[in-house]
Amino acid sequence: MHLSIQNLSKVYQDGKTALDGFNWELERGIYGLLGPNGAGKSTLLEILSLGLMPTSGRVLWDGWDIQKKPNAFRRILGYLPQSYGFYPELKTWQILDYMGRLHGLHGRRLKRRIGEVLEVMGLGNDVKRKVGTFSGGMRQRLAIAQSLLHSPQILVIDEPTTGLDPGERVAFRNMLFDLGRSCVVLLSTHIVKDVEFSCHQMSLLYDGVQRFTGEPVEFMKRVEGRVFETLIPFEGFAKFSKEQCVIAIQERGKEVTVRFIASNGVREIPGAQPVRVNVEDAYVDFIRQCGEEELLDEEVV
């Protein structure tokens, strides 16, 4: 079970480079893809799900090129796009039966798989319920269920937790953990916490360029010792936010508690307490740095 993304690039017809020389080696487990809007995440996922042809580079699954054997790859791929829907008038089992048959499953095997995926997704009691009556979380679980019907070896999921409530998000992450033990799960998301809590490796895209690939812990090192919390008077906040990269603010009467990232090289700030860093801190710092680099580039030009 090995997915190898080699020097993948995509240039659209209008000349825009959406992806520039992306490389990644994935094996069994959960992998997170992070990046702001327009970074190239969806383009990468669309290439992996055979919806788009890359301009250059290739993707190998266990050594064979997925573009050369698209139908074979489709058989082992489970894909959940960012935007999808179900026929609201159909019942849960009807949707799964329909999708399963389209995947070439029949008879007892199909029945067994429908039962299994419903059980895994916790939808066992809603088999006869119309999909139109489902909550956002239930629809999401059904979407995952349909993508798991044919027992895929690789699961590509685009922004799955958007719109879910915190409880549903945690349940979803736990479910991902189980899936990651048996297949390659590639998760693209805006929600940094999902990557921090569920992925053992992550890749960061910015403007189509791969800026970081590695473990979340490694990514957090970029801000280690630079994240602080301090209490400042409310009036002084405007000035403070101009000088420091503020991540979180909490009002406390006439004062505010501010969590911020100090500039590079600064290890001590009077009155401020260093706190434990998380992936979100590192991500914010990273995005800020990218923005500064862009500004610098523009000035040079």
Partner 1 sequence: MKKSSEKVAMSSIIPRGLAKKVRRLMERHLSLKVIDWLAQFWIQTRILFSRTLILMVVAMFAIFTWATIKEEIFKEGDAFRYLILQSTALAILLHMNLWETEREGRTFELLIMRIPGVNRLIWFKMRVSLLWNFLLLLPFSLGFMWFLTIPLWRELLYLLFLMTVAVFVALFTCVVSSFVKRGLPTAIIVTIILTMISSFRHLPAGEYFQIFIFPMKESLLKDWSHKRLAIMLIVNRLFLLCVAAHLYWWLYRRLRKTEKWIV
- Binding letters toward partner 1, positions 177-216, x by CB under 8 A: ----------------------------------------
Report if residue 90 touches partner 1, rule: CB under 8 A.
yes
Q: Which stretch binds partner 1 (CB under 8 A): 84-92, 112-120, 249-257, 290-298?
A: 84-92
- Binding letters toward partner 1, positions 40-79, x by CB under 8 A: ------x--xxxxx----------------xx--x--x-x
Total binding residues for partner 1 by CB under 8 A? 37
Q: Which of 15, 63, 85, 265 binds partner 1 (CB under 8 A)?
A: 85
Nearest approach in angstroms of CB 53 to partner 1 is 6
Q: Which residues make Cβ contacts (< 8 Å) with residue 46, sequence separation at least 6?
A: 52
Backbone φ and ψ of 188, nearest 5°: -105, 130
Q: What is the torsion angle, in degrees rounded to the nearest 10, for the CA atoms of residue 66, residue 158, residue 34 and residue 301? A: 80
Calpha distance 182→177 (Å, rounded): 10
Q: What is the torsion angle, in degrees rounded to the nearest 10, for the CA atoms of residue 70, residue 86, residue 129 and residue 91? A: -60
Cβ burial, residue 1 (10 Å; 0-12/13-18/19+): middle
**DSSP summary character for residue 113:** H
Nearest approach in angstroms of CB 259 to partner 1 is 38
Chain positions contacting partner 1, by CB under 8 A: 46, 49-53, 70-71, 74, 77, 79, 81, 83-91, 94, 97-99, 101-103, 106-107, 125-126, 128-130, 133, 146
